[in-house]
Structure 1
Amino acid sequence: MMYGLFFGDSITYGEYDGVFGGWVDILKRYALQKYNEGSNELILFNLGIGGETTEGLLKRMPHEMVARNAADGNIIFIGYGANDLAIKEGNYIVNTEQFKTNILTAIQLAKQYTQDIYLVSILPISKNIDGIEVASGKLRSNDEVLIYNQILKNIAAENSLHYIDFHSAFLDDKEVLLSEDGVHPNEKGYGMMAEIVIPIIENYL
């Protein structure tokens, strides 16, 4: 039995998807169905927390991994940035240098348990809120998304990690795949994310 641990924010958690519960929950059901059909057992844990940044990840990651360490191995997914890159009261919540440092620290923590580490890209945001301060006081822009995603891509390449590029998959159809708030996917978007990751999950079944 292997474990898959999905660390992330509300997009990992599946917020705003009242149909499927988000992409990770779709994958959980898929892995269970495959197990019932005779495949290897892969238990997936949705460890997404709404509003979390890489600062929060580092505080809880060691405890989460100790509690969920499978004898047959682990797969770790790290999906952060949508909150880190937001600007509030004129400052980034987590600036680029600190974001890079935090991701690298998280990778070192993850490597204590597995070499199977996946960095998850940040999604594009809707044109309706691009560069606009929303009710929460946060401002996000697609320019910042590209900068933070490039950090993730570089880290993945330099550390021989996997990079899951949801951003490219969403880019052309983002207005159809995002929910009303312009940040979170809708059920169609989450469904597409799950479809992209199913072939990865298949490798462990």
Structure 2
Amino acid sequence: MKKIVYGLFFGDSITYGEYDGVFGGWVDILKRYALQRFHEGNGDELILFNLGIGGETTEGLLKRMPVELNARNSADGNLVFISYGANDLAIKEGVQVVNPEQFKDNIIKAVQNAKEFSNDIYLVSILPIAQNIDGVVVGSGKLRSNEEVIAYNEILKSIAADYSLGYIDFHSALVDDKEVLLSADGVHPNEKGYGMMAEIAIPIIEKYL
């Protein structure tokens, strides 16, 4: 009897796939890959849900997460991916949207929510930002820095270690070539960047196919 496993991807616009008019972002590439594998008759069915919302922080995540998890709960098991930080760490009008202590608290609460539904939880690193917007207030009024990106990624890594979670390190994979892998806004990946992210994540979902 084949199993039907659900994969839930919580995140912001980078999870949603913004700025990728070709492939729809890394999660949508994974969705198509899992569907293709199923139609080839290989293994279990893995149904992936892209639950990314543009501009969302961990504060928004905590409000909707229990409802989303209850609505998409497979009897055969669930995978949960938590991909936040790019909006939390931003500074707007001199104030950090979600400070590091609160970010850590929120991620831990999200992990505890996820643990009620899944033993397979992955934290996803925050991506580097382009040099030309590092420490610069952009049109949206937000300021981001690579220094903060590194600090918030350290929080994610430490939580992953403490709670025995998976950690997907997109940051290390993209940082050296970020200027060619990010879109014009310097925050979101372009098609190449999203493609690289999907390549890194495919071996993870392979384990459940």
Taking structure 1 as the reference length, the TM-score comes to 1.00
Amino acid in the other structure paired with 2:192: K
**Moved beyond 6 Å, runs of 4+:** none
1:24 is aligned to 27
Deviations for 1:26-56, whole angstroms, at most 9, x for unmatched residues?
A: 0000000000011210000000000000000
1:65 is aligned to 69
Question: 2:112 aligned with 1:108, yes or no?
Answer: yes
Mapped to 2, the partners of 1:55 and 1:8 lie a distance apart of: 11
2:131 is aligned to 127
Amino acid in the other structure paired with 1:13: Y
| SS of residue in 2 equivalent to 1:19 | coil
| SS of residue in 2 equivalent to 1:154 | helix
Q: How many residues align?
A: 205
| SS of residue in 1 equivalent to 2:8 | strand
In structure 2, list runs of 5 or more residues that go unmatched: none
Question: 2:78 aligned with 1:74, yes or no?
Answer: yes
| SS of residue in 2 equivalent to 1:84 | coil
Deviation at 1:82, TM superposition (A): 0.1
Taking structure 2 as the reference length, the TM-score comes to 0.98
In structure 1, list runs of 5 or more residues that go unmatched: none
2:181 is aligned to 177
Mapped to 2, the partners of 1:67 and 1:115 lie a distance apart of: 18
1:31-46 matched pairs, under 5 angstroms: 31-39=34-42, 40-46=44-50
| SS of residue in 1 equivalent to 2:183 | coil
Out of 144, 162, 169, which is 2:166 matched to?
Answer: 162
1:91 is aligned to 95
Question: 2:49 aligned with 1:49, yes or no?
Answer: no
What is the CA RMSD across the aligned residues, in angstroms? 0.3
Deviation at 1:78, TM superposition (A): 0.1
Mapped to 1, the partners of 2:102 and 2:87 lie a distance apart of: 13
1:186 is aligned to 190
Mapped to 1, the partners of 2:156 and 2:54 lie a distance apart of: 20
Question: 2:208 aligned with 1:204, yes or no?
Answer: yes
